[in-house]
Every structure is written in C-alpha cells, then in structure tokens.
Amino acid sequence: MLLLREINPDVRKMKVSEQEILERRAVEIRVEIEQGIAKPYKELIDVSSGNPQGMGIRPLTFVRQVLATCLYPSLMHDDSLPLDVRQRAQRLLGECEGGSLGSYPAIYGIKQVRHTISAFITRRDGFASDPDNIAITSGSQHALMLLLKLLVKGEGSQQTGVLTPVPCYRSFNKALVAQGAVSVPYYLCEEQDWTVQIQELRRALHAARGHCNPMVLYVINPGNPSGHVQSKASIEEVIRFAAEEGLFLLADEVYQSCVFGDDSEFHSYKKVLSEMGPPFSSNMELASFHSISKGFMGECGLRCGYVEMVNLDPLVMHYAHTLFSTNASAPVPGQITLDVMTNPPQPGEPSYALYAQEVQSIRSAIMNNVQRILDVVSGLPGMTCQPIKGGIFAFLRLHLSQAAMKHAKEKELDPDLLYSLRLLEETGLCVAPGCELRQKKGTHHIRICLATPQDTMEDVLQRLKSFHLRFIKEFP
Amino acid sequence: MLLLREINPDVRKMKVSEQEILERRAVEIRVEIEQGIAKPYKELIDVSSGNPQGMGIRPLTFVRQVLATCLYPSLMHDDSLPLDVRQRAQRLLGECEGGSLGSYPAIYGIKQVRHTISAFITRRDGFASDPDNIAITSGSQHALMLLLKLLVKGEGSQQTGVLTPVPCYRSFNKALVAQGAVSVPYYLCEEQDWTVQIQELRRALHAARGHCNPMVLYVINPGNPSGHVQSKASIEEVIRFAAEEGLFLLADEVYQSCVFGDDSEFHSYKKVLSEMGPPFSSNMELASFHSISKGFMGECGLRCGYVEMVNLDPLVMHYAHTLFSTNASAPVPGQITLDVMTNPPQPGEPSYALYAQEVQSIRSAIMNNVQRILDVVSGLPGMTCQPIKGGIFAFLRLHLSQAAMKHAKEKELDPDLLYSLRLLEETGLCVAPGCELRQKKGTHHIRICLATPQDTMEDVLQRLKSFHLRFIKEFP
C-alpha cells in the first residue's frame, strides 16, 4: 500500500486549513438541523466565501435564457424568449463545432469569445488587446495555477518566490504550496485602508532573497479580503517596482466590476502599463485575470474565467500555450457566459432594460450591505473596519481582550478561529477567520461576504452583533 | 523579460506534438475554404479526436432538457417539457446551494450526485461503492492529472515511473511530462488484438528499474486507440501483477458503455478486484475514471467526469482530498449530466422511450461504422485493422512500401505523419497519425474516430480509400 511518506512531498505540505475545521462543523450543523436537533436558530448562514447565488442572489435572466437556448436549441422557436436571446444563442452555437455546446471548444477557448473579450478589454482600457494573448480557462484560479506551473521551479534558495499580499484569500496560498512555490508575504497597510506600500514590497523582496528566488509579484485589485481599490498612482508605483526588480506581475482583477466608493475607480494594470509608455508598456510582463464567478454574474458553478498575457516572450508564450492545451479546455456554458459578461445587451435591444435593472439591483444590494455593515461595526466596541471601496467582502478587525486571547491559547486555537467557531455554534453564522487569510501577527479578523440579499445581511448583522456583545462581555 | 530558460523545465520538456502540425494545417485549410480558395473537397472532416457532437452526433434530448430547465427554472412551468424532466431538474436544483446552478458545489462534487454515481457503480459491479471514495472533477483527464500530481515525485532514478500502454492517446503522455513523471512504455500486442501481456508488463517494469521508480500502472479498457476490450481473465492477471509489484493501478474506463463485440463484455477493474477477494479486494489501490465526454453522452463541452478511489490509505486519501479541493470544483452543468448518465430515465417514465431510442441510434451508428471501416480496410492493400470490440476509434495499420518510407525520410517526417498530412491536403480528411499515439518501432498507423453519423463515415471512407489507393500507387 502507498504510504503517506511515498506521496508527492509538495502535496504533503498542503495542510488542512483552519477554515476546513469550520466548514466541517458547518456541514454537521446543517445535518443536525435536518435531524431536528434544537438550535437557537432556524438555519445556517454561510458568508465565509464569495458564493453570491448560494446566498440567494438571483442569476441574470439574459445569461440563463441564452444558456438554456444554447443547450436546448428547440427553444430557438419559443416566442416567449426575447429576440436578442435567440439571436445570441444562434450566433454562439454557430461558433461551436457541429453547432453544439457539447463539442470540444478550441484549446484557448472559442475563438469568437476570445475576440469578444479582447474587444471588451480594448473598450475598457482604450488600448488594443490581442485575442491571441487571451486564454479562456476553467476559472481564474485555474489560469493562476497554470501560470504558476509555468513560472515556478527550483529547489532551496533557487525555488521561485511569489510576493503575496497579506491578507489574501486562502486558495491562492494553497495553490502556491501545491505548485512548490515559496510564498513571500508582503503586508498591506490596514491603518491606511489596506494600501500596497512600496517600501513594504521592497522589504519583503530583500528579506526573501537568499532564501528563495523571488520572480513573481501577485496583486489583487479590488482587494480580497481587503475591499481596497488601488489608485492609478499606486498601480504605477507597483509597476515601476516590478520593472526595477524584474518581477512577473500577476494581477487578479476579478472584482473589477465591483467598485463602490464615490472617489474610487477601477484602473486595470494593463491600462496603466499602456499609459506609462515604453519601456513599461513594451517590456513589463503581466497576466491579468477575470472571472464569471465574481461581480454581478456570480456564476461560480459554471467554472470559467480568462487570463490576458501581455509582453511575454514568444517562446515562453509558446510553452504557455502547450501547458494550457494539456489542461483541457474550459466548459462551454461558462464560455457562453463570458461572452455575455464582456458583451452585455445594449440600449435599444430587447433584453437591455431587464439586464440593466438586475445588475443595478445586485449592485444596490451590495452597496447597501457595505453601508449597513460599516454602520453596525462602527457602533460595536472591539470591532473596526476600514472603508470598503470594492470587491464583495468586509474584513472586520477584532480587538480582543487579554482574557479572550488567554482562553484561545488554552483551547489551542487561533483567537479568530475560536471566535468564528463560537459564532457558528451559537448563532449559525459561518464566517472566514483571519488566520485562514493570513494577517499581521497580533491582529485578528473575520471576513464576511457582502454579495447577499439585503434581508439576509440584516440577519447576518443581527447574529454577529448579538454574539459579539456576548463575547466581549464574557471576555472583558 | 522572462527568458525561455527561466521557465519550469518540466513545462519545457512538453514538445509540440506531431498532431499540432496537422491541426494547424487543418485550421488553415478551414480558413482557405471560407476564403473561397478552390479545393478538391467542399469541407474538412476532422476524425482525429473523439468529439462526437463536433462530428454531428446529436445530444440526448433528456440531458439537454434537464440542463435547460436547471439553468432557466421558468421552464419548470413549461408543460411541453416531460414531467420527469421537470422533476429531475427540481430535485437537482434542490441539491444546489441557494437552489441555483450558479452556486459553488461541494469540493468533491454535489453530494447527491456522488451518491447517484456510487449507486450506479454498485448496480454495475454487484459490490458496494462508497460515495466518499468518489470525486467529481472537470473531466477524467483532470482527475488523472490530480492523481498523478499526488503520486509523482523524485528526481533521476527516484523519479516516479508510470507504466503506460503503447499505443495510447496523446494527452495522457503530455500529462505525464507536465507532472514530471517518467513514461515507462509497455507494448500492447497488435497481432493478438492489442491484448495486454503480462510478460511484456514485466519486461517493461524490469527495464525501467534503475532508471526510475515505477510505481503506477495505467490501463485503458476499452482501449483508446486500440479498440480492444479486456477479458476478465486478462484483468485478473493485470491485478495480480500490480499486486506482486506493488503498483498503484489507474484504470481509464471512460468507454465502458461502448462495447460492441458479440463475445465482449465490459468488466470493471473494481468488480474483478472485488471478485478476487482478499488480499486483492482489501489492499489493491485502484483509481477508476469515467466521463460524460465519452460513450453515448458525448458531452465533451461540459467538462465533467469522476474518479473512484479504492483501498487508499486514509492518510493518503486525506491529501487526495486536500489536493482536489485546491483545484476547484467541477462545473455544475457537467455534474447534472453525470447524474443523468448514471441514472437515466427508467421504463415507465415519460422520457424513457425517446432516451432509449436515441442511445440505441448512436450505438447503431457506431456499430455500423465499425463494420463499414473493417469491410473497407479488408479490401484495401497495405492496410489492416484488428477487430474493434469497444471504444470509439479504429486504429488502422499502414503497411508502407520502402519507397514511401524513403520519401518520408527525405521529407524528415514520420511516415504516418506524412501520410496524414497528404491525406488532409488532398482529401480534407484529418486523422491522428500513429507516431502521435506511439507505436512499436517500424509500424505505422492512423486513428479514426467512429462516433460520427453514418453518412459522414461513408464520406470519410471514400476519401480514405481513394487517397490510399493513389498513395500506394505513387509509392509502390
């Protein structure tokens, strides 16, 4: 029998995460509720991950009508479906071999969908995007994995290091371990709204040299979990730093449509790079990621995203292509959804009004939730939150007492994991503990997803508030 | 700029395949036809890969009706859809968080779908299958990749070796390279209908020891491209061999529903293992793969499959779970299709008759194509084919003349690649050359997919026949 010591050591380094302890308990609690075991709440609410439709956000009608028609083309004759739905389905089916969604798509994704994406980027940035630089994958995380696979190599002090923000959502850190990369943490400055600071990037880089070979800089903008949206000036600084240090930039921009602050605007790394002109625009290597799971689509279950790769050496690009081709193509329903996301119904088209209204309604719900959580937190002792300018998360800081810390130590749990487990147990609310997303030593947080219907958020806030007040009373 | 020499050396080892030369030319020819450039044929026919719907095989109505209803639940009220479609959709939506296909499914796949699959395996084998051993992934290839990632490690003589059949479809060999495994070829015996021979497995294993650390045995049954279906006795022999040598068995059984020979029957490795009793049934580590892309579903575009892992050490299983969890969950439309594939409409249910008729019609088309290609080949000089008992491919042997070989040498091309390029250029028929799938030295083959409508196959055979006769006349 294959023994544990015989498996790939990189896989063995992957540890059971703190959140999995919570997740397992959440699963158990759901079962207990089904079995009729009495709880002080009727149902569990899980805001630990970004899963909008799982939380009750409804999918966009146009997306689903197009998908249904593509999958079951008899609907093409159903007059109750808007004309632009049927036209879109017809066009997209025409782009599938054999006229069917069930045929293998081209390796980098359906050609015309890649063209739609590149036209979207060109409109967004005001600079041309080359469809040949775009690869459609089974989600942005899958694309990130493949880029890491391409870039990561070596052992010991030659092992590729990846500068990674702290805090950062957990699956990225897991992916680094799985690919055998060294995570080089750089700390976002919580006190200054979670900004990226160049001196901190420099500190992290210099501290890492000698231990590993830092070659890659990973940024998330808008931030997850931070909720920060980078200014154009900040992006320029980051690009200059990466250029000076010869780093490959991985820009996770999956929340680009979710920017809420009045004074905030999304600037893509590609756009800023292009505006900076040569040598940056011609030399800086950048991969930017986007996804149908995030933003207003929230189609996490369809598993699709894309990456645009800029300024890669053609020989490296060739191997990127080879690597992507081995990892099979992205699911076609997701590709159809990408087409809609990057080319939504336009004014004058039959589905425009409903589409715009549904997007606005989701946007309003998230903005309302942002305001509500900030309001509630500002009234709570022992809890603070930086402004939330974008993304779909609130990352709340817990200011825990010495008594609470001592109790956590006795229980051998990270203090925010203890807090989260108690919160789950007592109120049925499941959040992500900060220890899972990494944080500055001595600080404690919880992350809450804000892409929920407004009434759900009220329920979330009530549970959080009542628990928090009890908790700080218990550990004064 | 990142130079080629700086990327992951395992990725650099991935070479452009022969078939990509063909594929690129096929893409060009399609464009040339669109541009109106005169060709001796109206359209290109690509039978180089297993892409049934791309070839014109129609999807199963029930599958697509269920998918459309799940994606656009307003159809739940559409009386023109059969009741069992709407009931199935209702049940499956109830198994998705938030009642939506757009929510993240559980990591190993939707729990109830995993139960459906395990019930299917239990019925198929007559032995219990544990749903906890089943993981749903983005296709069987993805599951294979993850298993390889778990198993492969080491450098030099300690690098994990994987016993791999020759011939074998190409993406498996690419995956081995990408994971840093050593491919240890064992040759199937063409003269004896492509059977697996134990003395050949033993030869391959012993030849590899010292060069690498052979730990894994990969089998494909029914065979791709061989068309062979293993007998129960043969599977028993393979299991005994793997047990003696301490090998981990990876059984690719994606064509299990496609068995055509009168005297052939599909036996799963799991079933044979179970029948053999202890110590085999209790100790032999086996991972068996299945997919919605193959067989009568042919839903390649929906990207979904599953793996059943048997007799893994619980600690190893734990890391398999962690690894799978990092690689995100499978697309939900594919999971819905898996549910239908493993639990199709039953007699008495409204959709049964149509479903059964559609499956039968695809089955008849493939069986007819098998018979037709064997008939045509038997009448052609310089071409032979072993009996085709299962799968969806014919692997035709080319007996080329010295003149043809000399010509290929001058052109610096593998002889069957030269043959395939000429076949493509002159008749618009795209096949897979044997050099791409590996073959015994000095032998030459082409692979043709048989999952096509019957009239397409007639066209394929006509193009093949006329070209082949010209070719052997040109190189007598």
Q: Which residue from B72, B142, B315 is facing A328, i.e. has the nearest CB?
A: B142
Asked if B298 lies within 8 A of A102 by C-beta distance, the reply is yes
Q: Distance between the two ends of chain B, CA-based, in angstroms?
A: 53
Lookup: tokens for A114: 């890649």
Contacts of B10 in chain A (CB under 8 A): 153
Mean predicted lDDT score pLDDT of chain A: 94
CB-based contact B151:A8 (threshold 8 Å): yes
Query: Using CA atoms, how far apart are residues B231 and B267, in angstroms rounded to an integer?
Result: 7
Of all helices (H) and strands (E), which one includes residue A307? Answer: strand A305-310
| Confidence (pLDDT) at A322 | 81
Mean pLDDT of A399-405: 97
| Confidence (pLDDT) at B361 | 97
CA distances from B42 to A457, B32, B427 (A): 60, 11, 9
Q: Which residue from A49, A71, A103 is facing B104, i.e. has the nearest CB?
A: A49
Mean pLDDT of A356-369: 97
The three-class DSSP label of residue A393 is: strand
Cis peptide before A225 (omega within 30 of 0): yes
Q: Distance between the two ends of chain A, CA-based, in angstroms?
A: 53
- pLDDT tens digits, A156-192: 999 999 999 999 998 898 889 888 899 999 999 999 9
The total of other beta-carbon atoms located within 10 Å of residue B92's CB is: 23
Does position A334 have pLDDT exceeding 70, yes or no? yes
| Confidence (pLDDT) at B203 | 98
Please give the distance of CA A414 from its chain centroid, rounded to a whole number. Answer: 24
Q: For residue A303, which phi and psi values (nearest 5 degrees)?
A: 55, 75
Contacts of B307 (CB under 8 A, 6+ apart): B134, B135, B137, B140, B143, B144, B147, B287, B288, B289, B290
Identify the weakest region by mean pLDDT among A13-27, A268-282, A299-313.
A13-27
Of the candidates A438, A386, A448, the one whose C-alpha atom is nearest the C-alpha of residue A165 is: A438
Query: Using CA atoms, how far apart are residues A104 and A329, in angstroms rounded to an integer?
Result: 8
Q: Looking at per-residue confidence, does A253 or B3 come out higher?
A: A253
Instruction: Find which of B21, B179, B300, B341 to mutate to test the A interface (most A CBs within 10 Å of its CB).
Output: B300
The three-class DSSP label of residue A93 is: helix
The three-class DSSP label of residue A448 is: strand
CA quadruple B52, B57, B62, B65: dihedral sign: positive
Lookup: tokens for B8: 């992951």
What count of CB pairs under 8 Å joins A to B? Answer: 249
- pLDDT tens digits, A201-225: 999 999 999 999 999 999 999 999 9
* Residue of chain B whose Cα is closest to the Cα of A23: B106
| Confidence (pLDDT) at B19 | 65
Of the candidates A379, A452, A439, the one whose C-alpha atom is nearest the C-alpha of residue A194 is: A439
- State the Rg of chain A over Cα: 23
Query: Using CA atoms, how far apart are residues B90 and B71, in angstroms rounded to an integer?
Result: 11
Largest Cα separation within chain B, whole Å, is 68
Contacts of A147 in chain B (CB under 8 A): none
pLDDT along chain B (476 residues), means of 10: 76 70 91 94 95 96 98 96 98 96 92 97 98 94 92 92 96 87 97 97 97 97 97 98 97 96 92 97 97 93 96 90 79 98 98 98 97 98 97 98 97 95 98 95 97 97 98 96
Contacts of B141 in chain A (CB under 8 A): 328
- pLDDT tens digits, A255-285: 999 998 788 999 999 999 999 999 999 999 9
Min CA distance, B215 vs chain A (Å)?
9
Q: What one-character DSSP code corresponds to residue B33?
A: H
Q: Where does the pLDDT of residue A327 fall: very low under 50, low under 70, confident under 90, or very high at 90 and above?
A: low
Q: Where does the pLDDT of residue A236 fall: very low under 50, low under 70, confident under 90, or very high at 90 and above?
A: very high
Min CA distance, A200 vs chain B (Å)?
24
Q: For residue B214, which phi and psi values (nearest 5 degrees)?
A: -70, 120
CB-based contact A313:B3 (threshold 8 Å): yes
Asked if A333 lies within 8 A of B71 by C-beta distance, the reply is yes
Burial B21-46 (b: 16+ CB within 10 A, else e): bbbebbeebeeebeeeeeeeeeebbb
Q: For residue B26, which phi and psi values (nearest 5 degrees)?
A: -60, -40
| Confidence (pLDDT) at B15 | 66
Min CA distance, B267 vs chain A (Å)?
24
Give B278-345 as a DSSP string.
Answer: TTHHHH--EEEEEESSSTTT--GGG--EEEEEES--HHHHHHHHHHHHHT-PPPHHHHHHHHHHHS--
CB-based contact A286:A312 (threshold 8 Å): no
CB-based contact A184:A205 (threshold 8 Å): yes
The total of other beta-carbon atoms located within 10 Å of residue B276's CB is: 16
Give A11-56 as a DSSP string.
Answer: HHTPPPPHHHHHHHHHHHHHHHHHTT---SSSS-EE-SS--TGGGT
Q: Where does the pLDDT of residue A18 fall: very low under 50, low under 70, confident under 90, or very high at 90 and above?
A: low
| Confidence (pLDDT) at B12 | 79
Query: Using CA atoms, how far apart are residues B31 and B25, in angstroms rounded to an integer?
Result: 10
Q: For residue A156, which phi and psi values (nearest 5 degrees)?
A: 55, -130
Q: What's the CA angle centered on B358, arms B357 and B359, to 5 degrees? A: 95
Instruction: Find which of B104, B159, B281, B297 to mutate to test the A interface (most A CBs within 10 Å of its CB).
Output: B104
Query: Using CA atoms, how far apart are residues A266 and A257, in angstroms rounded to an integer?
Result: 8
Asked if A150 lies within 8 A of B8 by C-beta distance, the reply is yes
| Confidence (pLDDT) at A15 | 66
- For the complex shown, is ipTM > 0.90? yes
Identify the weakest region by mean pLDDT among A363-377, A460-474, B170-184, B212-226.
B170-184
Q: Could you give all domains of chain B from N- to C-terminal order, each with its CATH number? A: 9-56+361-474 (3.90.1150.10), 97-342 (3.40.640.10)
Please give the distance of CA B419 from its chain centroid, rounded to a whole number. Answer: 24
CB-based contact A337:A67 (threshold 8 Å): yes
Q: Where does the pLDDT of residue A324 fall: very low under 50, low under 70, confident under 90, or very high at 90 and above?
A: confident
Give B162-212 as a DSSP string.
Answer: EEEEES--HHHHHHHHHTTPEEEEEE-BGGGTTB--HHHHHHHHHHHBTTB
The total of other beta-carbon atoms located within 10 Å of residue B340's CB is: 25
Lookup: tokens for A147: 């880029």
Number of helices (H), then strands (E), belonging to chain A: the values are 18, 13
Asked if A303 lies within 8 A of B329 by C-beta distance, the reply is yes
Contacts of A111 (CB under 8 A, 6+ apart): A95, A131
Of all helices (H) and strands (E), which one includes residue A426? Answer: helix A415-427
Of the candidates A356, A449, A370, the one whose C-alpha atom is nearest the C-alpha of residue A53 is: A449
Beta strands B444-449 and A383-384, pairing class = unpaired
What are the DSSP E strand ranges found in B330-408? 383-384, 393-398
Does position A226 have pLDDT exceeding 70, yes or no? yes
Does position A19 have pLDDT exceeding 70, yes or no? no
CA distances from B470 to B213, B214, B371, B402 (A): 48, 45, 24, 16
Cis peptide before A73 (omega within 30 of 0): no
Q: Looking at per-residue confidence, does B130 or A318 come out higher?
A: B130
Q: Where does the pLDDT of residue A6 fall: very low under 50, low under 70, confident under 90, or very high at 90 and above?
A: confident
| Confidence (pLDDT) at A16 | 61
Q: Which residue from A104, A153, A175 is facing B301, i.e. has the nearest CB?
A: A104
CB-based contact B3:B392 (threshold 8 Å): no
Contacts of A49 in chain B (CB under 8 A): 104
